[in-house]
Amino acid sequence: MTRKKSSERGRTVIYGVHPVVETLKAGRRRIDEVYLARGAAIPPVLRSLSADSTLPLTHVSADDMRSLTGSPHHQGVAARVGSFPYVDFESIIEEPAPGRGPIILLDEVQDPVNVGSILRSAECLGAQGVVLTKDRAAPVTPVAEKASAGASAHVPVVRVVNLVRTIGLLKETGFWVYAADSKGGDICYSVDLSGMIALVLGSEGKGLRRLVREECDLAVSIPMVGSIESLSVSQSASILLADCLRRRMELHHETKQSAPSDIR
């Protein structure tokens, strides 16, 4: 597992109200200390969570807070934490959460803001988990956690060395694997995106690598009518995840409608 480092003494410092609060709520990660900017209002939920624990709270100046986080967007709250809690790949395919949606695989996505935005959509729209590549890709950094608005504390994230091999393992397990490709493939709304599926999205600019695309079962595209070529990878992920959720909800409704009534 790769340890993330902040700009100060090798410490991992996450920042922003939602990332800190959700990390506290999730309880999956060691939290050593919470920093509050002097004069900033303490969010009620943070006050409540800290009151129920022995978590040390340290008040720092605005300048020190910016130095700690390396960002002006800290919202007056930061925390020194342990390494990000990546999970094993097996855990998201062997113990699927009931009613959860697809697994998202990112092929060398390098912008941490895109990674964070995708984690946010994955959590809000019910993805089973997110798979990142270890090489030539952004890990879950404090920047990504801020962009995720705290979703990174809840959605399972895996890092793998070989994405092609990972896709092969998913197919062996019974998943249908769809490549998101703006340059070709079936319109996503015409494809059944319910059931055990995985969606593979490519990097900014380059898209999917050839071997990755070829390993997928099918390519799907999002219809567009504008003048520019494509959506960002995070926007594409949101649209596809939303359609997956819509289909699961429709299937659930149909199942309830077709169930025999309980006549007494």
- Could you say which residues of the chain have pLDDT below 70? 1-11, 50-53, 95-99, 252-264
Q: Which CATH class is domain 89-254?
A: alpha beta
Residue 263 pLDDT:
42
Name the region of 47 (left: φ>0; alpha: ψ -120 to 50; beta: rest): alpha
**115 CB neighbour count, 10 Å cutoff:** 28
184, exposed or middle or buried, with CB in 10 Å at 0-12, 13-18, 19+? exposed
Q: Quick one: fold of 12-81?
A: 60s Ribosomal Protein L30; Chain: A; (3.30.1330)
12-15 vs 77-81, strand pairing mode: antiparallel
pTM: 0.88
Q: What is the pLDDT of residues 178-205, one digit of tens each?
A: 999 987 789 999 998 888 999 999 998 8
Residue 19 pLDDT:
95
Answer yes or no: same fold for 12-81 and 89-254: no
Long-range contacts of 65-72 (CB under 8 A, 24+ apart): 65/35, 65/37, 67/7, 67/8, 68/6, 68/8, 68/13, 68/15, 68/35, 69/6, 69/13, 69/15, 69/142, 70/6, 70/7, 70/142, 71/15, 71/142, 71/143, 71/146
Residue 116 pLDDT:
98
Q: In the sheet where 157-160 sits, what is the strand order?
A: 157-160, 129-133, 103-107, 197-202, 176-180, 218-221, 186-187
CA 109 to chain centre: 12
Structure tokens at 158: 């895996």
For the chain, the domains span: 12-81, 89-254
Residue 56 pLDDT:
82
